[in-house]
Chain A
Amino acid sequence: MPTQDETLPVAEVARTSWRPAAWLLLLLPVAILAGMVALFLTKGERLIGRPPIPPDALLKIEFERLVFRPGEVIATVRNTGPDEVTIAQVAVNDALWQFVVSPTATLGRMQRAIVTIPYLWETGDPVEVKLITSNGLAFKHKVDIAAETPRPSLGMLGIFALLGIYVGVIPVYLGFLWFPFLRRVRERWFHFFLSLTAGLLIFLGVDALKEALEAAGKIPGAFKGVGIILIGVSVGLLGLMAVGERTMGRRQSGAPGSERLALAYLIAAGIGLHNLGEGLAIGAAYALGNVALGTFLIVGFTIHNTTEGFGVVAPVARDRVALGHLLAMGLLAGGPTVVGTWIGGFTYSALWSILFLALGAGAIFQVVYELLKLMNRDARERAGSVANFVGLVLGLGIMYLTGLLVQL
């Protein structure tokens, strides 16, 4: 039997029972959302009426890759439409052809399938593969110049590694050879070269962004390539900013030399990310047969990327830098190219290429910001001087001109 003392005042009871825990407040919108989703999934047609376009008219199959093997064409395709889709017939160059689909001819949403077509294609000829769905829709993909797709092998690994070293690693170290020259230039020229570096980097960042956008146009729309770019650029930018805060910010009170060294490392990291994306693109382009990597193209890349090495060492030109640091920075900036060509060449995925190009772009823009901050801080004259302006424009110009040599 409860006594008078044990009963709480009425108001008090009400207040405690109506104060939900914080986690409940967090989950409440989620729960309502889940309920709405369930309602739409079960009674959607009654709530919003029949869709004006039958869903099976919106079926979509997108090609991710076309591989050419002797006597065989292998298409990797993905169902990027709103409903499941069945591949019923395959035509190659306007002729119905035998084919095998694995794992199944009926693909669920976003499901991928491999269509193997025994076909004696002719090297150098155009090949068009057309998939016809069970409801009669046709999806085509054309390769203008058929050529055998390189297979993963130790030899290919070596070729890709060499490729990466030629276009990524060697140019960066070559650029480092300007270091002794930069050490000797007079103080007032130093900022000119820093501006030039900023120009080089800005061009590189915009170029990476352009390449990412181009690649984004080629992947299935459902993957939202531009969204990936946004994520990549943001993460690259803010990620490097966070790293910069931890390294440069902490040392700000200490030796300015180490701050500049940290900036050089940041530039190397940004360029490394960019080069990873570039390596992916080069490897993939080579593997897809979209590019004949002639000596001219390799020479072009080498010249173009030499500017990257210059960009890395410019901020530390007035400091004593241990050889170990230089080697490490070179590897950080150039090494990813090799890794990129491997990944791109063997497991072609435009998605990764886009992501890393975007990360690189973001990182590079952040580095440019840090560079300008540095210049502003220890500049006797203001960063916006004529010399700096000329340096920046010259940097952009050099990149533009050497970029003419590179056309993937």
Chain B
Amino acid sequence: MSGVSRRQFLRWGLPAGLGLAGAAASASAPGKETAPSLPPGMVHPNPTHYMGGRPVPTERQAPDALDPMQILTAFDFGKVTRLPNGQIQREYTLIAFDREIEVAKGVKFPAWTLNGSVPGPTIRCTEGDRLIIHFRNEAAHPHTIHLHGIHPANADGVFEVVPPGGTYDYDLMAEPFGLFLYHCHVMPLKKHIHKGLYGAFIVDPKTPRPPAKELLMVMNGFDTDLDGENEFYTVNGIANYFAEHPISLQVGEPVRIYLVNTTEFDLINSFHLHGNMFKLFRTGTSLTNFEITDTVMLCQGERCILEFSYKYPGKFMFHAHQSEFAELGWMGMFDVQARPQKA
């Protein structure tokens, strides 16, 4: 190592994401905020009584750049009405259209989106709700919305292919509770999924899970040169985004991550948490945790819910434990703040 100082070594040795994350971290010194703080109301204690809902971006109204931080905490609870029998009805609108999105700094990808973003909006409801999903296809190719979970065949989004300009309403009861996903089911599947037509679908149990800071993470990849291999791996759509914009947490704060794997081309993806262990709820269909671990591997289309809280303050990474994915963009950071001292 003669001639190269340790400092230089560190500077050279760190990949782009880490280096930039370091820069972002050092810039977040007192008085200078860089990482966007989490919007209020992200803690979601009792979803059943949530009557609002994220305004659905309509055609061409989608923001110019995707905001993975927004996707992290934006849950679409739909337009809620109470039916005469007392049942809650939620209506959602999904619009498929093609647009270019930025998947890594400076790299544009001609995506097939739902409501303009990849992943699409997170559909959230409670077990037993009646769901009506209004789907409108404004894209160039035929598409469908195929939901995971228990529902009638005509709400499965496989045979009722919606042509460009067409619409379809998926009418179903939300069951069982758990973490699911939805995606287009038109052939060729690989193409329709990797281009971006997918999103998370959360069905909360009737008795809500304990309050926690809730985060949605959709792990995906982008094959920008269309050679059947991903150039970038991301969480919520932009490579290295959470490495450059760490997620703020507090020591002791309960955190719940809804983790969905929509990666194409690679059989599996994974999530590894630094400096901590998490309770793992596979598919979120049970309220008893499966195990306590620090790494979980998910196959294509597999999901799980993670619960944890940090014991120590500081910066902690989370990333795919496939080093290749981690170094091609699937890298993030928690910035854990010490609990404010009580006077």
Contact = CB atoms under 8 A, between A and B. Distances in A.
A89 interface: yes
B328 A91 contact: yes
A120 B4 CA distance: 11
Given A94-B324, A95-B327, A120 B231 contact: no
Interface stretch (A131-139, A266-274, A351-359): A131-139
A98 interface: yes
B19 to A, nearest CB: 5
Contacts of B4: 70-71
Interface of B (DSSP majority class): mixed
A40 interface: no
A134 B101 CA distance: 11
Contacts of B15: 95-98
B333 to A, nearest CB: 16
A94 B224 CA distance: 15
A105, A118, A119 interface centre (most CB from chain B within 10 Å): A118
A265 to B, nearest CB: 52
A349 interface: no
Contacts of B106: 86, 88-89, 105, 134
Interface string A114-128: 000011100000000
Interface residues of A, number: 23
Contacts of B8: 71
A192 to B, nearest CB: 60
Given A91-B328, A94-B324, A95-B327, A132 B12 contact: no
A96 B225 contact: no
Interface residues of B, number: 31
B82 interface: no
A119 B17 CA distance: 14
Contacts of B239: 96
Contact of B12 (A89, A91, A94, A118): A118
Interface in A191-242: none
B327 A94 contact: yes
Contacts, number: 76
Interface string A28-68: 00000000000000000000000000000000000000000
A72 B9 CA distance: 11
B307 to A, nearest CB: 31
Interface in A9-35: none
Interface string B107-119: 1110000000000
B179 interface: no
B16 to A, nearest CB: 5
B23 to A, nearest CB: 10
B244 to A, nearest CB: 12
A90 to B, nearest CB: 8
Nearest to A135: B108
Contacts of B240: 96
A199 to B, nearest CB: 49
A30 B207 CA distance: 84
B63 interface: no
B107 A132 contact: yes
A88 B9 contact: no
B105 interface: yes
A71 B10 CA distance: 11
Interface string A67-98: 00011100000000000001011010011111
A91 B328 CA distance: 8
B336 interface: no
Contacts of A98: 14-16, 19
Nearest to B20: A98
A96 B19 CA distance: 11
Given A118-B11, A132-B224, A96 B16 contact: yes
Interface in B203-228: 222, 224-225, 227
Interface in B152-207: none
Given A89-B105, A118-B12, A136 B328 contact: no
Contacts of A138: 224-225, 227, 231
Q: List 7 A-B pairs, minimum CB-CB distance, nearest first.
A: A136-B224, A88-B106, A95-B327, A118-B12, A138-B225, A88-B107, A96-B16
Interface of B: 3-4, 8-9, 11-17, 19, 103-109, 222, 224-225, 227, 231-232, 239-240, 324, 327-329
Given A71-B9, A120-B13, 9 more contacts: A86-B106, A91-B328, A95-B15, A95-B328, A96-B239, A96-B327, A136-B222, A136-B225, A138-B224
6 contacts: A88-B105, A91-B231, A98-B19, A132-B231, A134-B107, A138-B231
